[in-house]
Amino acid sequence: MNSSQFTTKAAILGDYPPRKCGIATFTRDLRDALNVNRPDWDCPVVTVTDPGSNYQYPPEVRFEISEPDAAGYERAADFLNLSHADVLCVQHEFGIFGGPAGGHITNLLRRARMPVVTTLHTVLADPSAEQRRAFSEIIECSGKLVVMTNHGAEMLRDIHGVSDEKISIIPHGIPDIPFADPNFYKDHFGVAGRPVLLTFGLLSPGKGIEYALRALPEIALEHPDVVYIILGASHPHQVRRDGESHRRALEQLARDLGVERNVMFVNRYVENTELCEFIGAADIYLTPYLNESQSTSGTLAYCFGAGKAVVSTPYWHAAELLSEDRGVLVPFRDAKAIAAGVLELFSNESRRHAMRKQAFLMGRGMVWSEVAADYTRVFEEARQAFQARGRRLPPRGSVYGKTEPLPAFRFGHLNRMTDSTGIFQHAIFSIPWFEHGYCTDDNARALLLTVLLEELDARDESISRIQSTSAAFLHFGFSSVGGRFRNFMGFDRRWTEEHGSEDSHGRAIWALGAVVGRTRVAGLRAWASSLFENTLLAVEGFTSPRAWAFTILGLHEYFRSLHGDLHAVRLRDELAGRLFDLFKRNASADWPWCEDIAAYDNPRIAQALILAGRFTGNEEMKNIGLSALRWLMDKQTGIDGCFRPIGSNGFWKRGTDAALHDQQPLEAAAAVSACIEALNATGDQFWEESAKRAFEWFLGANDLRLPLYDPSTGGCFDGLHDNRVNQNQGAESTLSFLLALAEMHALRKNSPTTDTHVLS
């Protein structure tokens, strides 16, 4: 599978330039590399700003957290959730986040509703109690942990108990610096023809530069024109604490040793282009670091990958990277050993060049383009693991057991979506989206809902208004000239078509039949009966199986009060016969379905057959409908037995796998209704459990363990993507939930132990 198939927005959290920090540079370089690797991706940055600083961040930085502000991390989580990021990539170093041992970051991670991939720039072998506690929470909140060395992975396993499945090893990214003769760059810095040593990075006491300086007199005895470039500004934390005292001490040491003419202090932070030129000019790179437990060094990675000979102390990253004669390792705090290592490489050109070549070739896997591809793969693995893991499901029956109430009806969003013309098709989040206007489909669903609510005594004034509005919309939508309903109307109240789809016509018939069969409002019933008769004339020419099914459902609603209408009976028998014939001609043992594709609203077709077979006494027809519905429900089963509707992104073609996404509320509502019909036809409790399972999908019993129903608005989100919920709350989705809820309330209405309160 293409690892970028699903991920389209990878948010990145870490320090960011112009903050002068190695993590900031890494964060920027990773983002830039991801954008080159996947130019169609959106990679917003959330950055952490150190106290007392005020940076002018570039446009890609979308949210700023003040390092010590605990609440700021929570606000950042809310921002990320609202941005619909597919994955969050965190750059972790203990010193860049606020709180004890940088623990404020867990405020964000616990609230994030997306998979988290954390790059660990440091893994501690002997953490303090506070560090261990903070680190354990980061491990728990992260779907994947990225380390840059095998040693880092071993430490995660052996010290912190992390499983192999959670660990990914991706080397520190490096610029793609050409393998070139150092003399090509030396004249840029006025050192042409001279042997050049280099150390770069933010200056701080732990870098051990004083030992490299103490090695310089011995090196200069053999190579009097040697120059040691010490490149980099002082670390900001060092400057805040002690000013430039460390740099001045190093400068004084060079004078005391008599090598000040062999040392070039470049006291500034350089960007990548100039940095690559400095690296290019070096013959040997020195990393005399003092701390063995440094698990990652970006400066070492840069120079090694550029094909530089390296003399280094054996801190963890260097010990791994420079093994097998890919560099020279010397003891900690040993100036003589540093001098010996440098002199040996200067005198042994064949070894030095072999070392350079070996390092450069190994470094090809470390260039940013390769590293970005590795991160893309890990993002997708984290996304899939996040989806598979989900949230813990409640025990079966805990939500819909005999003593637990169903959700109460809330009509706030439905009212918001309905104006004096009808219900709007779409919403932007929970705001009506005027641009897309109205449609007959949704107003038919709204009218059907109002009569179901009437039977449940769940109507209020607003539902009465919606009932009359949706009825008026259907009346206006029917064209007596062609005998068809128009479907789409713009916000300007102009129809955009002469007639709508066959399916929309069938849904309108269904709603009208329900009004005739169920409502106690005499005037509304008389209107619906008159229009219903006129709408049936066009149906015999329809070819859509779903339009046939919707019409059958509408006819049976109509038969609740007018079963003696022979024309309606004949049409029901004709349409049911067509569906029955489709199944006989198309179904097989492994594909018991009426078409070569299981598309949308599939359970309605089975429901219509069950209903027609039941009331015509055609057992074979009823049983084919039941078999088809059972097949659909078996196939629409996902993680832990939860309902997994066929996705609208391709549906399910015969001989292929069903699309997993996007899962639509329409499908769950259809499954609820069809399973209740099967329960009525058979009395088999399997169907009641199946209806409950489909309804639970709305409340979080789904692949992502995320609720589709929003009790704060009374609306329903538009669908379940592969890694998130579509946050828009359109009419079809909201009506689907409310229709399913009405049917579940009706199913339990007569149970004496059921909480019958349905309005909040």
* Residue range 704-717, pLDDT digits in tens: 888 999 999 999 99
Kind of pairing between the strands at 431-432 and 61-66: unpaired
User: Residue range 14-20: average pLDDT?
Assistant: 93
320 or 6, higher pLDDT: 320
Report percent pLDDT > 70 for the chain: 95
What's the confidence (pLDDT) of residue 20? Answer: 87
Measured CA to CA in angstroms, residue 304 lies from 51, 171, 178, 461, 520 at distances of 34, 12, 12, 75, 83
The model's pLDDT over 496-522, given as tens digits with 9 standing for 90+, comes to 999 999 999 999 999 999 999 999 999
- pTM of the predicted protein model: 0.67
Residue 168 phi, psi (nearest 5): -130, 135
What's the confidence (pLDDT) of residue 210? Answer: 97
- The full DSSP string for 48-105 is EE-TT------TTEEEEEETT-HHHHHHHHHHHHHTT-SEEEEEE-GGGS-SGGGTTH
Nearest to 575 by CA among 631, 628, 621, 512: 621
543: helix, strand or coil: coil
Whether residue 401 is predicted with pLDDT greater than 70 in this model: the reply is no
What's the confidence (pLDDT) of residue 389? Answer: 63
632 or 383, higher pLDDT: 632
What's the confidence (pLDDT) of residue 501? Answer: 97
The model's pLDDT over 281-296, given as tens digits with 9 standing for 90+, comes to 999 999 999 988 888 8
Label residue 654 left, alpha or beta by phi (over 0 means left) and psi (-120 to 50 means alpha).
beta
Nearest to 726 by CA among 58, 110, 84, 120: 84
What's the confidence (pLDDT) of residue 638? Answer: 86
Label residue 462 left, alpha or beta by phi (over 0 means left) and psi (-120 to 50 means alpha).
alpha
Nearest to 527 by CA among 483, 472, 480, 481: 472
What's the confidence (pLDDT) of residue 296? Answer: 85
Whether residue 402 is predicted with pLDDT greater than 80 in this model: the reply is no
Helix ranges restricted to H, 519-618: 522-535, 545-562, 566-586, 602-616
The model's pLDDT over 131-154, given as tens digits with 9 standing for 90+, comes to 999 999 999 999 999 999 999 999
Helix ranges restricted to H, 422-565: 440-455, 461-477, 502-518, 522-535, 545-562
Report percent pLDDT > 90 for the chain: 82
The model's pLDDT over 731-740, given as tens digits with 9 standing for 90+, comes to 999 999 999 9
* 418: confidence class by pLDDT, cuts 50, 70, 90: very high
User: Residue range 529-553: average pLDDT?
Assistant: 96
Q: How far apart are CA 17 and CA 30, in angstroms?
A: 12
Nearest to 146 by CA among 106, 118, 115, 109: 118
Q: How far apart are CA 148 and CA 315, in angstroms?
A: 14
Whether residue 123 is predicted with pLDDT greater than 60 in this model: the reply is yes
Nearest to 677 by CA among 621, 617, 611: 611
368: helix, strand or coil: helix
Check if the beta carbon of residue 313 is closer than 8 Å to that of residue 330.
yes
Exposure string over 361-398, b if 16+ CB within 10 A, otherwise e: ebbeebbbebbbbbbbebbbbbbbebbeebeebeeeee
What's the confidence (pLDDT) of residue 633? Answer: 97
How many other β-carbons are positioned within 10 Å of the β-carbon of residue 124?
17
What's the confidence (pLDDT) of residue 739? Answer: 98
Cis bond before residue 18 (omega within 30° of 0) = yes
Helix ranges restricted to H, 364-409: 368-389
Check if the beta carbon of residue 36 is closer than 8 Å to that of residue 369.
yes
Whether residue 4 is predicted with pLDDT greater than 60 in this model: the reply is no
Q: How far apart are CA 444 and CA 506, in angstroms?
A: 10
336: helix, strand or coil: helix
The model's pLDDT over 464-480, given as tens digits with 9 standing for 90+, comes to 999 999 999 999 999 99
Q: How far apart are CA 611 and CA 23, in angstroms?
A: 65
Q: Which residue has the tokens 């009218």?
A: 447
Nearest to 55 by CA among 19, 30, 88, 24: 19
- Helices 545-562 & 502-518 angle (0-180, nearest 10): 10
* 750: confidence class by pLDDT, cuts 50, 70, 90: low
CATH dotted code for 390-748? 1.50.10.10
Q: Which CATH superfamily is domain 10-173+370-388 in?
A: Glycogen Phosphorylase B; (3.40.50.2000)
Enumerate the β-bridge partners of residue 265: 230
* Furthest-apart CA atoms within the chain: distance in Å: 115
Residue 610 phi, psi (nearest 5): -60, -45
Q: Which CATH superfamily is domain 183-365 in?
A: Glycogen Phosphorylase B; (3.40.50.2000)
Check if the beta carbon of residue 515 is closer than 8 Å to that of residue 451.
yes
The model's pLDDT over 524-537, given as tens digits with 9 standing for 90+, comes to 999 999 999 999 99
Exposure string over 608-644, b if 16+ CB within 10 A, otherwise e: bbbbbbbbeebeebbebbbebbbbbbeebebbeebbb
Report how far apart the first and last C-alpha atoms of the chain are (Å, whole number).
47
Q: How far apart are CA 514 and CA 275, in angstroms?
A: 75
**In which residue ranges of the chain is CATH 3.40.50.2000 found?**
10-173+370-388, 183-365
**In which residue ranges of the chain is CATH 1.50.10.10 found?**
390-748
Which helix (H) or strand (E) element contains residue 438?
A: strand 438-439
183: helix, strand or coil: helix
* 395: confidence class by pLDDT, cuts 50, 70, 90: very low
Nearest to 172 by CA among 382, 19, 377, 374: 374
Whether residue 227 is predicted with pLDDT greater than 90 in this model: the reply is yes
How many other β-carbons are positioned within 10 Å of the β-carbon of residue 56?
6
Whether residue 400 is predicted with pLDDT greater than 50 in this model: the reply is no
What's the confidence (pLDDT) of residue 29? Answer: 95
- What lies within 8 Å, CB to CB, of 257 at 6+ separation is 213, 214, 216, 217
- What lies within 8 Å, CB to CB, of 210 at 6+ separation is 249, 250, 253
